[in-house]
Chains A and B, each alone.
Chain A
Amino acid sequence: MTQKDPKLLIQPGPQLRQQMTTPVVMRDVWYALTPATLAGVWFFGLGALLVLLTCIAGAVLTEWYFAPEEKRGYFLGDGTAILTGWLLGLTLPPALPLWMAFIGGVVAVGIGKTMWGGMGANIFNPALVGRAFLLATFPIAMTTWTAPGDFFTIPSSVFALPLMQGVVDTVTQASPLGLMKFEHIDTPFFDLLFGNTSGSLGETSGLLLILGGGYLWWRRDLDWRIPIGILGTAMIFSLILFIVDADKYPGPIFTTFSGGMLLGALFMATDPVTSPLTKKGTWIFAIGIGILVVLIRVFGGFPEGMMYAILLMNAATPLIDLYTQPRVFGRELDSK
């Protein structure tokens, strides 16, 4: 075992171990999310941190509860439950009552993942399932955005009693997307870039999200086709709309840096479980999301469309995989 230079290795296989295991990838994603998360907590204060931690607690407890007793360590050790809770927390308003955040975490892991058969078997991105449930269940609380404020001030709505409404006592402010959609007010580019705007906890700082995505790409944990495809399509689509009527439609830069666009494109859509396997399929998936986001944002009823765009394309993923299977070597093109 302590042999320095093994000329002859005598041990049962496997001799070569893959370095990229699920826990390693999950930890990479944690590191990649850290800067944007810290920025979110810095801008929105300690309340945001509490919301985030509650989401993670809800997700982890659910995973623990539904895991087989003898395998609990294994189920929790790969870090997917923590990541699901974390990603969900990043998409929530910073002043959300904690009990709602907890329910979000429970639904994300329970209905989003465990119900389908656990890690790797789910069709939809678990974090987005949690968010979709919360948005459908508590539409008012989920769209009450607070302005970035003092670090130590925790909005009292965070501590609302379970089942009770939260009273937001800090400054509320429409998110840049809402301002654009309903009042046609543009938000300065640098605020969008650094994150000093209202919005979900982790989606405001474009720069740090790109940094995290870049780290993941460098570590090869992320298929670059998905973010490039989504952002490229959304930019081209919104550029066309912008040229048609610059007063009515937001420009491509605003489209890219506002709302959950970057968070979704870099961290949610790239989930290897819920995105297609083939290269061709990946492009179809990414372009589909890009088009859907702009369609929902510009012509739909909601200011933000990233969540529904990703969930819709998640649903299409098995079909995309089926139709983009490469030809099996030695067989005719049309035979299955």
Chain B
Amino acid sequence: MAKEQHAYEEFMKGLWRENPVFVQVLGLCPLLAVTNSAINGLAMGLASFFVLLGSSILVSLLKSYIPKQVRISCFIIIIATFVTVVDYSLAAAMPVIHKELGAFIPLIVCNCLILGRMEAFASRNTLRMSIADAFGMGAGFLFALVALGGVREILGVGELFGISLFGPNFEPWVIMILPPGGFITLGVMLLYFNWVEEKKNKLDKQLAAEAGVN
């Protein structure tokens, strides 16, 4: 039971407390490049999720056979295998989205988030924990991508997942679907997350102080 709790902790850590984007600020290149619409964000998030999960499992299983000196190249080969799988599956199943994401699907190979999890987590923990971690981090990344893509799509073209929200008279915020819009939106989101974090810390401190007094 205690172990169950632990795995859940690992999952929530990736989703919220150590969110790869909003807290660790990792993997920004695909994040900023493809999130001009929610659907692109979703596709990119799912692709990264799959790669992260697959390579986490494999790295965790193979960790005792990988020599320490060449571990990074081994991780890269494992990641690249899964990226190739995603690349071809997307091209076959959803050619339009594959075309929109373009070079950023192959570039998942060098996403520092995925390599970072291999190095920092999967190569040092059990299979079970690695899966929980990959689920958490993948879901956190997916959440960030969809949130960013959603905001940019709503303001940039007045739609969400391609559904018009405001009618034909909507004035598009052109900047939001351009690269600067990505930076501005991400900045505002980081600001918000840090603000929430700060408020929570303050509250915790206050509660601790009150508990101390009592």
Are A and B genuine complex partners? Answer: yes
A interface, over-half SS? loop
Contact for B170 among A111, A136, A139, A165, CB less than 8 A: A165
B175 touches A133 (CB 8 A): yes
CA–CA, A91 and B104, complex, Å: 40
With contacts A136-B178, A163-B166, A164-B166 taken as known, whether A111 is within 8 angstroms of B184 at the C-beta atoms is yes
A139 touches B171 (CB 8 A): no
Count contacts between A and B, CB distance < 8 Å.
30
Tell me whether A208 is interfacial, beta carbon within 8 Å.
no
Report A95-150 residues with CB < 8 Å from chain B CB: 97, 100, 111, 133, 136-139, 141
B178 touches A138 (CB 8 A): no
Q: Please give the distance in Å from B71's CB to the nearest CB on chain A.
A: 41
Q: Please give the distance in Å from B143's CB to the nearest CB on chain A.
A: 25
Report B154-191 residues with CB < 8 Å from chain A CB: 158, 166, 169-171, 173-176, 178, 180, 184
CA–CA, A133 and B184, complex, Å: 11
When distances are taken between beta carbons in the complex, the residues of chain B under 8 Å from A133 are: 175
| CB closest chain-A residue, reference B191 | A115
CA–CA, A136 and B184, complex, Å: 13
B184 touches A138 (CB 8 A): no
When distances are taken between beta carbons in the complex, the residues of chain A under 8 Å from B176 are: 137
Number of interface residues of B (CB under 8 A): 12
A163 touches B174 (CB 8 A): no
B171 touches A163 (CB 8 A): yes
When distances are taken between beta carbons in the complex, the residues of chain B under 8 Å from A160 are: 171
Q: Please give the distance in Å from A61's CB to the nearest CB on chain B.
A: 17
When distances are taken between beta carbons in the complex, the residues of chain B under 8 Å from A139 are: 174
With contacts A163-B166, A164-B166 taken as known, whether A138 is within 8 angstroms of B180 at the C-beta atoms is no
Contact for A137 among B169, B170, B174, CB less than 8 A: B174
When distances are taken between beta carbons in the complex, the residues of chain B under 8 Å from A165 are: 169-171
B170 touches A164 (CB 8 A): yes
A136 touches B180 (CB 8 A): yes
When distances are taken between beta carbons in the complex, the residues of chain A under 8 Å from B170 are: 163-165
Number of interface residues of A (CB under 8 A): 14
CA–CA, A210 and B171, complex, Å: 37
CA–CA, A138 and B174, complex, Å: 6
B169 touches A136 (CB 8 A): no
Report A154-180 residues with CB < 8 Å from chain B CB: 160, 163-166
CA–CA, A23 and B201, complex, Å: 37
A164 touches B169 (CB 8 A): yes
When distances are taken between beta carbons in the complex, the residues of chain B under 8 Å from A166 are: 171
When distances are taken between beta carbons in the complex, the residues of chain B under 8 Å from A164 are: 166, 169-171
Q: Please give the distance in Å from B164's CB to the nearest CB on chain A.
A: 12
CA–CA, A163 and B200, complex, Å: 33
Q: Please give the distance in Å from B27's CB to the nearest CB on chain A.
A: 24
| CB closest chain-B residue, reference A162 | B171
Q: Please give the distance in Å from B104's CB to the nearest CB on chain A.
A: 24
Q: Please give the distance in Å from A134's CB to the nearest CB on chain B.
A: 9
When distances are taken between beta carbons in the complex, the residues of chain A under 8 Å from B184 are: 111
| CB closest chain-A residue, reference B171 | A165
Q: Please give the distance in Å from A326's CB to the nearest CB on chain B.
A: 37
A136 touches B175 (CB 8 A): yes
Report A32-89 residues with CB < 8 Å from chain B CB: none
B175 touches A137 (CB 8 A): yes
When distances are taken between beta carbons in the complex, the residues of chain B under 8 Å from A100 are: 171
Contact for B174 among A97, A111, A136, CB less than 8 A: A136
B 89-104 to A, binary, CB cutoff 8 A, 1 in contact else 0: 0000000000000000
Q: Please give the distance in Å from A289's CB to the nearest CB on chain B.
A: 23
When distances are taken between beta carbons in the complex, the residues of chain A under 8 Å from B180 are: 136
A138 touches B169 (CB 8 A): no
CA–CA, A100 and B174, complex, Å: 13
CA–CA, A299 and B153, complex, Å: 34
CA–CA, A165 and B166, complex, Å: 11
Would you list 25 pairs from A and B whose C-beta atoms are within 8 A, ordered by A residue?
A97-B171, A100-B171, A111-B184, A133-B175, A136-B174, A136-B175, A136-B180, A137-B173, A137-B174, A137-B175, A137-B176, A138-B173, A138-B174, A139-B174, A141-B171, A163-B158, A163-B170, A163-B171, A164-B166, A164-B169, A164-B170, A164-B171, A165-B169, A165-B171, A166-B171
Given A163-B158, A163-B170, 19 more pairs with CB closer than 8 A? A100-B171, A133-B175, A136-B174, A136-B175, A136-B178, A136-B180, A137-B173, A137-B174, A137-B175, A137-B176, A138-B171, A138-B173, A139-B174, A163-B166, A163-B171, A164-B169, A165-B169, A165-B171, A166-B171
Partner-A contacts on B (CB < 8 A): 158, 166, 169-171, 173-176, 178, 180, 184
The 8 closest A-B pairs by CB, nearest first: A137-B175, A136-B175, A165-B171, A137-B173, A164-B169, A165-B169, A137-B174, A163-B166
